[in-house]
Structure 1
Amino acid sequence: MIKAERLNQGDTVGVIAPASPPDLKNLDKGISFLESLGLKVKLGAHVNKKHGYLAGNDQQRLEDFHHMFQDPEITAIFCAGGGYGTGRIVADIDYASIKENPKIFWGYSDITCLHTAIRQETGLVTFHGPMLCSDVGKEGFDAESEKMFHQLFEPEGMHYNENLSPLEVIGEGEASGEVVGGNLSLLVNAMGTPYEIDTKGKLLFLEDVGEEPYRLDSFFNQLKLAGKLEDAAGIILGDFSGTETEKTKETLSLSQVYEDYFSHLNKPVLAGFKIGHCLPHYSIPFGTDAVLSSHRKSLMIQPGVD
């Protein structure tokens, strides 16, 4: 496990768009937020590019990604937004360069592909948190979500309990391990590739948005059949918004789907964490040690920076 150095006021941070094109007006607001934290901001050369549904072609997005890790002035890298595209560049990333230049890396959703690959190829701790364009720059971005950026300046751990949101116990127990995971559909997309997630002895975090219960069922089933749920030490279920059924009136509830896949695992499984496509969005590091307890209804995560 490699932790990047904490941020200090006056540091220069980089902004890249490794997936879909960002809304530039919202991105400007997100940049202003970073500046309000006392940071200087350097944009990737291709952030404003468009190539269909991508923020520039694969080579342009890969160049920005590499440049930010190799630039000695940059101390942290923030993703403008998600959408789609990171899976197209993951095989061409220079992971040795990342290991030689460990930096804070922040994003979620489609960025899940990069989180998994970076951690498993280099050991670098990365951060699952709201993005500048699709979250920070939009109306309604809240103070609780803003506070989550402070963990980059001070190595403070996260103690998530029912003071933050109601938590549902689906599986009993207590387990420790590194927190890994991210967007459920992205993790399933990577199955059978060199960047398939390793869950053995880990606390597996899952979230998604806009997927109906039958779709989530199919994703959970894929993880089950691949042994990922059995291998995990515990399961952390984040926000699953937009699950309303449209295609059929005959459906199972999300709670029923949870019950089918997680209640018989003989390990801690808790649902209701406000982590994902939601507000507030509580940010967490991936790759640090944590403890998940059904008895205390809590998740305790070690700091993600030195």
Structure 2
Amino acid sequence: MIYPQALKKGDKIGFFSPSSPATVFAPNRLSRAKSYLESKGFNLVEGSLTGHSDFYRSGSILERAEELNRLIRNPDVRCIMSTIGGYNSNSLLPYIDYEALRKDPKIIIGYSDVTALLLAIYAQTGLITFYGPALVASFGEFPPLVEETFQSFLDILCSTYDSYQYKMPELWTDVLLEWETQDSPKPRYPNKWQFLGNGQVRGRIIGGNLNTIAGIWGSKYMPEINSGDILFIEDSLKGIETVERSFAHLLACGVFDKVGAIILGKHELFNDKGTGRTPLDVLIEVLNGKNIPILYGFDSCHTHPMLVTPIGVEVSINFDSEIIKLESRWVQEK
């Protein structure tokens, strides 16, 4: 295991665009996000593809890989954050400078399509990575949601605790508004986590965005699922038929024969195609009686606020007390 150093105010956070060109199609949100993190005492270092677009992506495969590698090789940058996700981060995996990360471990954070990078870096180096906010998508949001996201960022990345108990946000949202014209907070809903199971389960947490995982499945960039692991999965903007296929894929690969528990995050704007069913309903049907405890609705996903989830650390879930905790360290002191 390799642990990055805890972040502190005054540190440099580099941002990069491994897939979609959010710095081009959402300049107002980018500016708001940068100002927000700078107001919290961090210095931002922009990636070389900031302001660049190649239609559906920020640049060519090699250009995107080089943008990331420059930040990896920059000793002053202590945290590397994606601007947003997309669909093609897996194209970068053969070209990442994994050796430089082994020599100078730093915080790598993002979500959605960035799952491919987080899991590949963890698989290739043993470096703990972080499923968490992206610059434009997350920190460009308005208060109070952005404040709650930042608090989780602060709690996880700027501390050196050996354990941490997650607290469920009281309110959440997946309302979709036009980013460049949004000028006020989104409406929010009362929150609820469902703990389906009994007793306590403890294991290594592994996973991320389920649709992205399919793009690295079976490769050396996908960490092997071990017996007793806690599988963390979430998705966004998918129809129920796609979600069923994704869950059935995991079943066919024997994943559900190994894991000790499942954490299923909220699904942003899930399309139930008129069935009235939830992603949880689909998962339970696919499991077909397999006795795997499930935590449903965890807020480390495409919705706001977003909690930070370290990949590769020990997690415990007490289904009787309805508590989820990190049980091993995820960063080291400077």
The verdict on a shared fold, with TM-score over 0.5 as the criterion, is yes
Residue identity opposite 1:160 in structure 2: Y
Q: 2:140–2:146: 8 Å Cα contact kept in structure 1?
A: no
Alignment match of 1:296 (pick from 321, 326, 329): 321
Q: Which residue of 2 aligns with 1:207?
A: 234
Alpha-carbon distance change, 84 to 255 in structure 1, aligned in 2, over 3 angstroms: closer
Shift of 1:142: 3.2
Q: Which residue of 1 aligns with 2:299?
A: 274
Alignment match of 1:225 (pick from 247, 252, 265): 252
Q: Which residue of 2 aligns with 1:260?
A: 285
Alignment match of 2:267 (pick from 211, 215, 240): 240
Q: Which residue of 1 aligns with 2:17?
A: 17
Per-residue CA deviation, residues 253-284 of structure 1 (Å, 9 max, x unaligned), is 43421222347333322112122011121112
CA distance in 2, matches of 1:215, 1:293: 30
What does residue range 1-306 of structure 1 map to in structure 2 within 5 Å?
Answer: 1-22=1-22, 23-139=26-142, 141-150=145-154, 151-156=156-161, 157-160=163-166, 165-200=191-226, 201-246=228-273, 249=274, 252-262=277-287, 264-301=289-326, 302-306=328-332
159-168 or 282-291: which moved more?
159-168
Q: 2:197–2:294: 8 Å Cα contact kept in structure 1?
A: yes
Shift of 1:53: 0.6
Shift of 1:182: 0.5
Per-residue CA deviation, residues 33-60 of structure 1 (Å, 9 max, x unaligned), is 2212211111111222111211111111
Per-residue CA deviation, residues 216-247 of structure 1 (Å, 9 max, x unaligned), is 1110000111012222221111111212234x
Shift of 1:152: 1.6
Residue identity opposite 1:7 in structure 2: L
Q: 1:236–1:270: 8 Å Cα contact kept in structure 2?
A: yes
CA distance in 1, matches of 2:287, 2:13: 40
Shift of 1:173: 4.2
CA distance in 2, matches of 1:11, 1:142: 20
> Matched residue pairs, number?
304
SS of residue matched to 1:119: helix
SS of residue matched to 1:15: strand
Q: 1:108–1:129: 8 Å Cα contact kept in structure 2?
A: yes
Q: 2:122–2:223: 8 Å Cα contact kept in structure 1?
A: no
Q: 2:15–2:83: 8 Å Cα contact kept in structure 1?
A: yes
Shift of 1:9: 1.9
219-228 or 18-27: which moved more?
18-27
Q: 2:108–2:130: 8 Å Cα contact kept in structure 1?
A: yes
Alpha-carbon distance change, 107 to 163 in structure 1, aligned in 2, over 3 angstroms: closer
Per-residue CA deviation, residues 111-158 of structure 1 (Å, 9 max, x unaligned), is 000111011111111111121111211345432112112122212443
Residue identity opposite 1:218 in structure 2: R
Q: 1:170–1:259: 8 Å Cα contact kept in structure 2?
A: no
CA distance in 1, matches of 2:167, 2:69: 37
Q: Which consecutive unaligned segments of at least 5 residues does structure 2 have?
A: 171-190
Q: 2:37–2:139: 8 Å Cα contact kept in structure 1?
A: no
Residue identity opposite 2:152 in structure 1: M
Residue identity opposite 1:167 in structure 2: W
136-145 or 9-18: which moved more?
136-145
Q: Which residue of 1 aligns with 2:177?
A: none
SS of residue matched to 1:155: coil
Shift of 1:163: 7.0
Q: 1:170–1:262: 8 Å Cα contact kept in structure 2?
A: no
Q: 1:26–1:138: 8 Å Cα contact kept in structure 2?
A: yes
Q: 1:212–1:242: 8 Å Cα contact kept in structure 2?
A: no
CA RMSD of aligned residues (A): 2.0
Shift of 1:303: 4.3
SS of residue matched to 1:142: helix
TM-score (norm 2): 0.85
Shift of 1:250: 5.3
Q: 1:171–1:262: 8 Å Cα contact kept in structure 2?
A: no
Q: 2:266–2:298: 8 Å Cα contact kept in structure 1?
A: yes
CA distance in 2, matches of 1:163, 1:242: 19
TM-score (norm 1): 0.92
CA distance in 2, matches of 1:64, 1:224: 37
